[in-house]
Amino acid sequence: MLLRPDAKLLFIGDSITDAGREPMGEPSPWGSPGLGRGYVSLIESWLLATRPQDRLRVFNRGTSGHTVLDLAARWQTDVLDLKPDFVSVFIGVNDVWRQFDTPLRTETHVLPERYEQTLDTLVAHTLPALPAGPGGLLLATPFFIEPHRADPMRARMDEYGAIVRRLATRHGVHFLDTQAAFDAVLAHVHPMALAWDRIHPQPAGHLILARAFLSSLGCL
């Protein structure tokens, strides 16, 4: 079991993590989506329902449109200053997507070398601040909800996923292959059943993510 009682869990990423969260990024007492309406909220709900005695506090620090460079710019205030016990880093979709949807705006592109260097620096800078060291950090791959690996954007996303795997191995941290989680379902359903744009999951897609994260956390 990775999560100890009274632990603070922080999830950081892009719009897939954001999922319409409120600025505070924590559960709201008024029924509004403080944690958003995505996988982070599902994870928090599962933990509250199954481990209420452990008082696990969840933070959502996803921001729509962000790349790994944006995460680096806000890392101190959105991660380190909160002194989390566990950090999940789920970034890379926009780093890849901008290369395809705005190919001429090259200043928005985060190419593989810069992606790897930046993420590597963030991990190295964060591990000393975590009580459990490498055991308190998880790196999740970006995904593209497209079963055909020859699709150019799917192939590019897999390239960035391989970088995440390599960094997880290098630093000895937890690794989650979200692409594999979706591929298992895509063997049976069309991508549009999970995400109309093959990026932003519908409820079933967020449930796929939540299950994958919870399994990685040893909570299923």
Which residue in the list 28, 32, 197, 215 is annotated as catalytic? 197
Which residue in the list 15, 41, 88, 216 is annotated as catalytic? 15
Spatial distance between the Cα atoms of 34 and 41, rounded to a whole number of angstroms: 8
How many other CB atoms are found less than 10 A from the CB of residue 102? 12
Spatial distance between the Cα atoms of 198 and 206, rounded to a whole number of angstroms: 13
Which residue in the list 41, 200, 206, 216 is annotated as catalytic? 200
Does 15 participate in catalysis according to the annotation?
yes
How many other CB atoms are found less than 10 A from the CB of residue 199? 23
Residue 57 pairs with which residues in a beta bridge? 8
Residue 55 exposed, middle or buried by CB count within 10 Å (0-12, 13-18, 19+): exposed
Does 18 participate in catalysis according to the annotation?
no
How many other CB atoms are found less than 10 A from the CB of residue 152? 10
Does 54 participate in catalysis according to the annotation?
no
DSSP 24-71: T-S--TTSS-TT-SSHHHHHHHHHHHH-GGG--EEEEEE-TT--HHHH
- Any idea which residues carry the catalytic annotation? 15, 197, 200
